[in-house]
Amino acid sequence: MHLVILDGYTLNPGDLSWDDLNKLVQVTYYDRTLRDQIAQRLADADAVLTNKVPISAEVFAACPRLRYVGVTASGYNIIDLEAAKKHGVTVTNVPGYSTNSVAQTVFALLLEITHHAGAHASAVREGAWVRSADFSFSLFPLIELAGLKMGLVGFGLTGQATGRIAHAFGMEVLVSTRSKPTYDGFPYRLTELSDLWREADVISLHCPLTPATKGLISWPQLEQMKRSAILINTARGPLLNEADVARALAEGVIAHAGMDVLSAEPPPADNPLLTAPNCLIIPHLAWASFAARKRLMGETVENVRSFLDKKPRNAVS
């Protein structure tokens, strides 16, 4: 079987090995692939691995040999599943590999917003402490998490992991989810979204991107939040109306935002969040710890192996 990797650099920039995959199939590897290169590169492929390169109905039609698509991520909205089904193509993903890394990133953002460790460390390096008249100084108000309410939108594996950390910090955990969770790892209170917007001090998004959740947080939701609210998004950029969030930050409707994801990545220079006040943005790296990528590599290989054995696992098609 000939397998093509369209955008392998994000998963493996050089610190992991493709050897286990090479033992299973013939591999053609590309660091990156532009949209107008996809069909050409898959012309004689039986299988493909993709992280963010989309596989559309047109690609499936142009590549009749294709029988397997492995998404090297949890989200698989880049694949036209109806077209895959029509052409008899199995599609798999890798759920859960980055759960702990994403939850950790939520608090990396939240702790920087509440304690500004990076800004204070930079000030010390620039000599502000040496020049200080006192033994201690702070550049910003410092916020304690204990006693605050953490609102989780979505309560899958990552939402639960985030909730565990929040509880360990002494936060009260509010949960809004479409499912009926039976998770009992820590105390939490189920609530409607409208109540969560109003009550939560910190709102962290952990829901999938669907037609129903696109633009989930826009001006009407932002107006309901506390003026001291902190909004964290490590899920999907289009869950937010970015212009509305930027306006809310500029007008003090909410206090802070921490973003790992944006609606377009890399973002265009005119994305309003890039210049919004009190908006901390990191470049979609919550998933990318070495441990998470190592798990992702291993699960990706096992998905391919299982397909070859005619027992596909993690199939989403």
* pLDDT tens profile 86-142: 999 999 999 999 999 999 999 999 999 999 999 999 999 999 999 999 999 999 999
Active-site hit among 236, 256, 293, 295: 236
Q: Give the pLDDT score at 290.
A: 98
| 317: pLDDT strictly greater than 90 | no
CB-facing half-sphere around the CA of 144: CA atoms within 13 A:
3
Shared domain for 276 and 220, answered yes or no, is: yes
| 38: pLDDT strictly greater than 90 | yes
Question: Do the domain assignments include residue 249?
Answer: yes
Chain mean pLDDT for the chain: 97
Parent domain of 148: 99-281
Shared domain for 104 and 253, answered yes or no, is: yes
DSSP letter assigned to residue 289: -
In the chain, the percentage of residues whose pLDDT exceeds 70 is: 100
CATH code for the domain of 85: 3.40.50.720
Shared domain for 176 and 130, answered yes or no, is: yes
Q: Give the pLDDT score at 175.
A: 98
Shared domain for 126 and 234, answered yes or no, is: yes
Residue 216, H or E segment: none
Shared domain for 65 and 172, answered yes or no, is: no
Question: Do the domain assignments include residue 227?
Answer: yes
Question: At 297, is the secondary structure helix, strand, or coil?
Answer: helix
Shared domain for 42 and 62, answered yes or no, is: yes
**Spatial separation of the C-alpha atoms in residues 14 and 58, rounded to whole Å:** 32
Dump pLDDT digits (tens) for 222-281: 999 999 999 999 999 999 999 999 999 999 999 999 999 999 999 999 999 999 999 999
Shared domain for 267 and 303, answered yes or no, is: no
Shared domain for 45 and 112, answered yes or no, is: no
- Pairing relation of β-strands 279-281 and 256-259? parallel
Catalytic residue flag (residue 120): no
Q: Give the pLDDT score at 182.
A: 85
Q: With a threshold of 0.75, does the pTM exceed it?
A: yes
Shared domain for 175 and 301, answered yes or no, is: no
- DSSP per-residue letters across 213-251: TTT-B-HHHHHHS-TT-EEEE-S-GGGB-HHHHHHHHHT
Q: What are phi and psi of 79, to 5 degrees?
A: -105, 135
**Spatial separation of the C-alpha atoms in residues 35 and 51, rounded to whole Å:** 13
Catalytic residue flag (residue 144): no
- The number of domains in the chain is 2
Angle between helical axes of 99-115 and 290-308 (0-180°, round to 10): 160
Question: Do the domain assignments include residue 316?
Answer: no
Q: Give the pLDDT score at 28.
A: 98
Catalytic residue flag (residue 256): no
Question: Do the domain assignments include residue 317?
Answer: no
Find out whether 206 and 154 touch, Cβ atoms under 8 Å: yes
Question: Do the domain assignments include residue 314?
Answer: no
Q: What type of residue sits at position 127?
A: G
Question: Do the domain assignments include residue 259?
Answer: yes
Question: Do the domain assignments include residue 313?
Answer: no
Q: What are phi and psi of 297, to 5 degrees?
A: -60, -50
Shared domain for 256 and 117, answered yes or no, is: yes
Question: Do the domain assignments include residue 235?
Answer: yes
Shared domain for 304 and 277, answered yes or no, is: no
Could you tell me which of 286, 291, 229 has the C-alpha nearest to residue 261?
286
Active-site hit among 41, 206, 256, 284: 284
Q: What is the mean pLDDT of residues 147-166?
A: 97
Shared domain for 185 and 43, answered yes or no, is: no
Quick one: how far is CA 46 from the chain centroid? 29
Active-site hit among 32, 144, 265, 313: 265
